[in-house]
């Protein structure tokens, strides 16, 4: 549509529209000038691992050794390595839905079986201890938690993590993979927590995944990392050594500067994100047929479009599901969103508010107009 000259506003991209901070770029340039362009250790330089150790102790009160740290080409590779290293055919991984689109397919590629647990909006799109208890079987190998969440922005409180942790303590064969990629993007005073810190007895069977992509606007640099048990970290390194080998040496130097450097830039960026969130939230909740929960973090909204399903477009076509709604918003409203069914939860769609306020205002108005034209 854009190639044909149509002005389409895309709210589908999950990356900050801010630039990478200058001090991180400077570290990358210095690394090039200093000749840091050779192979590194397979799963991260000692310098970057040391910075990650400092980060976990500083931000999360978690103490790790370098041998408990893995660095990969983005958080996705780190998660994939862990699944390849641990899943056998028939092993199950519990995934609360809505979920990030890649989780189930990575489980399948690794030979496991994804077990999707619907977590409705009235419980904050979060899994409960009771649901977890009912989902765990002798074949359960992992439970995955994502907080704040992609696609909903929902965040688990310390109390909620403690409740889940107490349930997991009763099942010593189950490991926890927590995806904390949006840790530093949070609003309204919500406090981030991670389960290995809240339930220390789970530390030795928890893989805590994070990265520099979202908080530091470094999506293209492709650096993710994790902390976990030494034997798991070693197995992940073995897999990485036979797939990609080390992550980019320059990107690792930049990530080290990010983790050890100032973070004061985040306050103004989070304030901008919060204002954009509220702009879109107010617009959607005032649009006929839409309603939206206020997220604790990340830069996504996950509005319900259930009331639009069954309505007819101006040309008489029936909207049968959220994919039809998303297609209609694209063709009629010229706004690209992602249907909730892609995240394992129908009747919703996801938008990213990581774009300019002006474009968000235009997009919300286009969506409103498109919704009012439905019969």
Same domain, 99 and 201: yes
Q: Is residue 2 part of a domain?
A: no
Q: Are strands 206-211 and 175-179 parallel, antiparallel or unpaired?
A: parallel
Residue 208 lies in a domain: yes
**pLDDT of res. 2:** 93
Exposed (0-12), middle (13-18) or buried (19+): which is 17, by Cβ within 10 Å? middle
d(CA 26, CA 249): 14
The answer to whether residue 4 is domain-embedded is no
pLDDT at site 136? 98
Find residue 117's DSSP bridge partners: 96
CATH number where 296 lies? 3.90.1150.10
Tell me: do 148 and 211 sit in the same domain. Answer: yes
Please tell me whether residues 174 and 281 are part of one structural domain. Answer: no
Residues 39 and 188 in one domain: yes
CATH number of the domain to which 64 belongs: 3.40.640.10
Q: Which domain covers residue 201, as residue numbers? A: 34-260
Let me know: does 337 contact 349? Beta carbons within 8 Å. Answer: yes
In a domain, 131, yes or no: yes
Centre a 10 Å sphere on the Cβ of residue 312 and count the other Cβ atoms it contains: 12
User: Three-state SS across 5-58?
Assistant: CCCCEECCCCCCCCCCCHHHHHHHHHHHHCCCCCCCCCCCCHHHHHHHHHHHHH
Claim to verify: residue 276 and residue 233 sit in the same structural domain: no
200 and 271 assigned to the same domain: no
- pLDDT tens-digit readout, 55-107: 999 999 999 999 999 999 999 999 999 999 999 999 999 999 999 999 999 99
d(CA 22, CA 9): 28
Identify whether the C-beta of residue 232 lies closer than 8 Å to the C-beta of residue 86: yes
* Ordered mean pLDDT values, 10 residues apiece, the chain (375 residues): 95 94 98 98 98 98 98 98 97 98 98 98 98 98 98 98 98 98 98 98 98 97 98 98 98 98 97 98 98 98 98 97 98 98 98 97 98 96
Which of these three, 194, 225, 260, is where a domain ends? 260
- Rounded percentage of the chain residues whose pLDDT exceeds 90: 99
244 and 335 both lie in a single domain: no
pLDDT at 24: 98
In a domain, 294, yes or no: yes
Question: Are 320 and 202 members of one domain?
Answer: no
Model pTM above 0.85: yes
Residues in CB range of 267: below 8 A, 6 or more apart? none
The residue whose two tokens read 């492709």 is: 222
The answer to whether residues 137 and 56 belong to one domain is yes
Question: What tens digit of pLDDT does each residue of 198-234 get?
Answer: 999 999 999 999 999 999 999 999 999 999 999 999 9
| Whole-number pLDDT of residue 189 | 97
User: So what's the pLDDT on residue 183?
Assistant: 98
Report the b/e string of 122-152 with b at 16+ CB within 10 A: eebbbbbeebbeebbeeebbbbbbbbbbbbb
Let me know whether 245 and 314 are in one domain: no
Query: How many domains does the chain fold into?
Result: 2
Query: At how many degrees (to 10) do helices 230-241 and 75-86 cross?
Result: 110
Cα–Cα distance, 33 to 292 (Å, whole number) = 49
Q: How far is CA 291 from the centre of its chain?
A: 22
Domain boundary among 220, 244, 260: 260
Is the residue at 44 inside a domain?
yes
Residue 272: inside a domain: yes
The dihedral of CA 248, 249, 250, 256: what is its sign? positive
Report if residue 128 sits inside a domain: yes
Q: What is the dihedral of CA 76, 77, 82, 88, to 10 degrees?
A: 90
Cβ-contact 149, 121 below 8 angstroms: no
Q: At what angle do helices 75-86 and 102-109 cross, to 10 degrees?
A: 40
Q: Are residues 192 and 303 in the same domain?
A: no
Cβ atoms of residues 98 and 125 within 8 Å:
yes
Domain boundary (239, 260, 281) is at: 260
Domain match, 85 and 159 both: yes
Q: How many C-alpha atoms does 273 have within 13 Å on its Cβ side?
A: 31
Q: At what angle do helices 357-372 and 322-331 cross, to 10 degrees?
A: 110
């Amino acid at each position: 549509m854009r190639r044909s000259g149509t002005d389409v506003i895309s709210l589908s991209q999950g990356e900050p529209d801010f630039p990478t901070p200058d001090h991180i770029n400077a570290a990358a340039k210095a690394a090039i000038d200093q000749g840091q362009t050779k192979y590194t250790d397979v799963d991260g330089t000692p310098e970057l691992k040391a910075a990650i150790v400092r980060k976990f102790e500083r931000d999360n009160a978690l103490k790790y050794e370098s041998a408990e740290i893995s660095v990969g080409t983005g958080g996705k590779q780190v998660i994939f390595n862990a699944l390849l290293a641990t899943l056998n055919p028939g092993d199950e991984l519990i995934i609360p839905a809505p979920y990030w689109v890649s989780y189930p397919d990575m489980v399948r590629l690794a030979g496991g079986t994804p077990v999707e647990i619907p977590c409705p909006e009235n419980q904050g799109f979060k899994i409960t201890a009771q649901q977890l208890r009912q989902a765990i079987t002798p074949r359960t190998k992992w439970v995955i938690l994502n907080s704040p969440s992609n696609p909903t922005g929902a965040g688990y409180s310390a109390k909620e993590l403690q409740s889940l942790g107490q349930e997991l303590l009763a099942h010593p064969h189950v490991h926890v993979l927590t995806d904390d990629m949006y840790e530093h993007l949070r609003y309204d005073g919500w406090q981030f927590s991670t389960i290995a810190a809240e339930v220390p007895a789970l530390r030795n069977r928890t893989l805590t995944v994070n990265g520099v992509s979202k908080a530091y606007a470094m999506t293209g640099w492709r650096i993710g990392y994790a902390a976990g048990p030494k034997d798991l970290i070693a197995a992940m390194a073995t897999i990485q050594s036979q797939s990609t080998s080390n992550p980019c040496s320059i990107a690792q130097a930049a990530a080290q500067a990010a983790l050890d450097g100032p973070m004061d830039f985040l306050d103004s960026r989070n304030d901008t994100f919060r204002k954009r969130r509220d702009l879109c939230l107010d617009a959607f909740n005032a649009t006929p047929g839409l309603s939206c929960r206020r997220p604790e973090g990340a830069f996504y909204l996950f509005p319900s479009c259930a009331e639009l399903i069954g309505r007819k477009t101006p040309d008489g076509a029936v909207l049968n599901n959220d994919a039809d709604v998303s297609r209609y918003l694209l063709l009629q409203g010229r706004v690209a969103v992602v249907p909730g069914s892609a995240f394992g939860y129908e009747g919703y769609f996801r938008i990213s508010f990581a774009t300019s306020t002006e474009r968000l205002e235009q997009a919300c108005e286009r969506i409103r107009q498109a919704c009012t034209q439905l019969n």
